[in-house]
Amino acid sequence: MKRPPFDPTFAQGGLFDQPAPVDATKAAKTNEPARPLNVSEAAQLVGEQVSALGKLAVQGEVTSYRGPNNSGHVYFSIKDAQCVLHCVVWKSKAPSIKIALADGLQVVVEGRFNYYAEGGKLSFIVDSIRATGQGDLDAKFRLLCAQLKELGYFEESRKRALPMLPRGIAIITSASGAALQDCLAVAARKFPSVAITIIDVVVQGLNAAAAVSNAIHAVDLAARRMGIDVILVTRGGGSREDLDAFNHRLIADAVYNCTTPVVAAIGHESDTSVIELVADVRASTPTAAMNRILPDRGELRQQLDFVNSSLRQSLLQCCQLKSRALTQVSSRPCLRDPAQLVLMPRAKLEHLCKQFPATMMARIERARRATLELSTRLQATSPATLLARSQAKAHATRQRLDMSMNQWLARANRDVQAMAAQLQAVGPQGTLARGYSITKTSDGKLLRSVSGVKPGDVIHTILGDGELQSQIEKGG
């Protein structure tokens, strides 16, 4: 019988034993030392553990919802007081979602966790969603809106129109925010001559509502004096929590009671806040707000050119009509001398034509003087002039106060010196200086008689330039 060829796989022991495969998962679960896992093996462990959780139902409040993206997938997050969970609805599941998702909506999502190893990201893949009620922020927003609507805060009839050409704009926002830079860029492009006053306030957090409402009230009180015709309250985009400061009753009351037109542009176009509902004008973005407030300098120049051209054309047509009328009169037969009939109207027309430039120049000069007078009055009442005047008045008052104080101090110093001289003259020190002395016993009593001491006692004598200590040897 022929011997089969040697097969090392059937050999037992020795050099031909095959090494047992290393199970990374088992090695990781034992307490025995094992080789380090590579990243892929660690990610595989996480994926297996996440997949083992199976289908779950999670309740939370919707946040960061922006609708389907270009691929048709829906991305959003749900949160509670401590944590946030990223959720995904794939395009194939999106048609089965029957509720309208929005930030603040309380929902229960059902699905499975998924660990995307390549990106190291944990997501919750949603299969179905059902609503359980509104979140705290949304409930508070709806309650405040209902109260303000009942009070008439949202009525269109109370809202004021914006001025066609505002003298000044007060922008209430964060000085470090991008919203302010957008507003200034639009103003520089469209109408750089408008005066802009920036009020720097906090626009999110616990103190934001009070800061914004106080700023609106202060600007409204000083609007006439500062030449402010429009107040713009704005900030850039943010989360629902960041914008919640503008859903406060304090701000709603400040805007409602404001006598200056208020424009509000809070967050993105999809965001809606209470201040925007109460404001006279609501803009989708800070840029849109400034475009709404300011006229276009180029369009104004075109309108002026059009009016000027129309006026010139009307004057030319008027002159042509007059000329044709005179020609018709001169051609009619008349018993009187026709030349005289023609000459009188033509002379009058020529006189008017010669007088027209002078009349227009006189009107222009009057308008120039009126404009100069208004400019002078405006300059006299401008904030800078008033401030300089107040500073000069305060400086003069301070000088008079310093002079009066110096005079009063000088008189007081003289009075003190005179009283000191009188006191010196009648005081004990002056008496001592003239040669007298004061003697006291050892216990500090004034010695008035020799009978007050006996031999051996110690006495103290006060002279004009010092003190002496003596011991009685013999009494008088």
pLDDT in tens, 284-337: 889 999 999 988 777 777 777 777 777 777 777 777 776 666 666 555 554 444
404-430 residue pLDDT tens: 898 999 999 999 988 888 887 777 777
* Domain ranges across the chain: 53-134, 139-295, 298-379, 433-471
Q: Would you say 193 and 293 are in contact if contact means Cβ atoms under 8 Å apart?
A: no
Which DSSP category does 120 fall into? T
Q: How many CB atoms lie within 10 A of CB 276?
A: 22
pLDDT of amino acid 259: 93
Residue with tokens 């022929």: 2
pLDDT of amino acid 9: 53
Rg (CA), the chain: 48
Q: At residue 347, what is the residue type?
A: A
Average pLDDT, rounded, for the chain: 81
Q: Would you say 288 and 267 are in contact if contact means Cβ atoms under 8 Å apart?
A: no
Q: Would you say 261 and 278 are in contact if contact means Cβ atoms under 8 Å apart?
A: no
User: How far apart are the C-alpha atoms of 207 and 109, rounded to whole Å?
Assistant: 35
Q: How many CB atoms lie within 10 A of CB 316?
A: 10
User: How far apart are the C-alpha atoms of 80 and 59, rounded to whole Å?
Assistant: 8
- Kind of pairing, strands 105-116 and 56-63? antiparallel
pLDDT of amino acid 335: 42
CA nearest neighbour of 161 among 261, 279, 231: 261
User: How far apart are the C-alpha atoms of 199 and 196, rounded to whole Å?
Assistant: 10
- Kind of pairing, strands 262-266 and 281-282? parallel
Q: Would you say 63 and 83 are in contact if contact means Cβ atoms under 8 Å apart?
A: no
Q: How many CB atoms lie within 10 A of CB 59?
A: 12
Which DSSP category does 465 fall into? T
User: How far apart are the C-alpha atoms of 260 and 230, rounded to whole Å?
Assistant: 6
Give how far Cα 97 sits from Cα of 104, 134, 269, 467, Å.
Answer: 17, 17, 24, 108
CA torsion sign, 295 to 297 to 299 to 303?
A: positive
Which DSSP category does 68 fall into? B
User: How far apart are the C-alpha atoms of 7 and 16, rounded to whole Å?
Assistant: 10
Q: Would you say 113 and 53 are in contact if contact means Cβ atoms under 8 Å apart?
A: yes
Q: What are phi and psi of 131, to 5 degrees?
A: -85, 145
Average pLDDT value for residue range 179-194: 89
Q: How many CB atoms lie within 10 A of CB 35?
A: 9
Predicted confidence band at 6 (pLDDT cuts at 50, 70, 90)? Answer: low
Q: How many CB atoms lie within 10 A of CB 450?
A: 10
Fold of 53-134: OB fold (Dihydrolipoamide Acetyltransferase, E2P) (2.40.50)
pLDDT of amino acid 29: 52
Domain 139-295 has CATH 3.40.50.920: no
> Among 78-92, 112-126, 213-227, 360-374, which is the least confidently predicted range?
360-374
CA torsion sign, 319 to 325 to 330 to 334?
A: negative
Average pLDDT value for residue range 49-58: 91
Best mean pLDDT range from 172-181, 324-333, 354-363, 392-401: 172-181
Look at residue 282 and give its three-state secondary structure: strand
Q: Percent of the chain scored above 70 by pLDDT?
A: 84
Q: How many CB atoms lie within 10 A of CB 18?
A: 8
Q: How many CB atoms lie within 10 A of CB 137?
A: 17
Q: How many CB atoms lie within 10 A of CB 184?
A: 16
Q: Would you say 191 and 294 are in contact if contact means Cβ atoms under 8 Å apart?
A: yes
69-80 residue pLDDT tens: 888 899 999 998
Average pLDDT value for residue range 333-350: 51
pLDDT for residue 16 is more than 60: no
- Considering the entire predicted model, what is its pTM? 0.43
pLDDT of amino acid 254: 93
Predicted confidence band at 198 (pLDDT cuts at 50, 70, 90)? Answer: very high
User: How far apart are the C-alpha atoms of 137 and 47, rounded to whole Å?
Assistant: 35
Which DSSP category does 162 fall into? P
Q: Would you say 464 and 432 are in contact if contact means Cβ atoms under 8 Å apart?
A: yes
107-158 residue pLDDT tens: 899 999 999 888 888 999 999 888 775 556 777 788 888 889 889 999 998 8
